[in-house]
Amino acid sequence: MPELHLLRPDHAPALLAFEQENRAYFAATIPDRGDDYFARFQERHRALLAEQEAGTCYFHVLVGEAGEVLGRFNLVDVADGGADLGYRMAQRAAGRGLATSAVREIRVLAATRYGLTVLRAATTLDNAASRAVLARVGFTVTGETRLSGRPGLTYLLRL
């Protein structure tokens, strides 16, 4: 059974493989990270770990039995009892309920380990899977937004 782990330095190779293997799949529903992201991946990974150490963000990976990354689940911009939730699942892991389970686990961690009282999220209108996950976990729509020029919705969950 896949397990949610707080991001560590040794996750870098599997995380890079996850991002590379799923780049086109992700770009269909969320803004592409761009070539620079991949060119500077190691530097970016170290920066994420520093942010996590400072307590301003918490990055999680869903790791499969073979050590492969199946998804990422991030709490960013942690401040004043709240954080923004972002996540992405590998194409081969989609549709199996793993994202819903992981977001439920993140919800518990946010309240118990990180002391948060509210989570915010946003997704594009054409990302039906992400909208369904947020609804199943208890997020409510709070408004409309644009994400890299694409229409979307904003969500809120009080913990």
Q: What are the CA-CA distances from residue 25 to residues 21, 40, 61, 84, 90 (Å)?
A: 8, 21, 18, 23, 8
Enclosing domain of residue 27: 3-158
CATH number for the domain that contains residue 76 = 3.40.630.30
Helix, strand, coil percentages (3-state) for the chain, rounded to 5, are 40, 35, 25
pTM value?
Answer: 0.94
pLDDT per residue over 54-78, tens digit each? 999 999 999 999 999 999 999 999 9
Average pLDDT of the chain is 96
What pLDDT is stored for residue 95 in this prediction?
Answer: 94
pLDDT of 15 higher than 90:
yes
pLDDT per residue over 96-113, tens digit each? 999 999 999 999 999 999
* Number of domains observed in the structure of the chain: 1
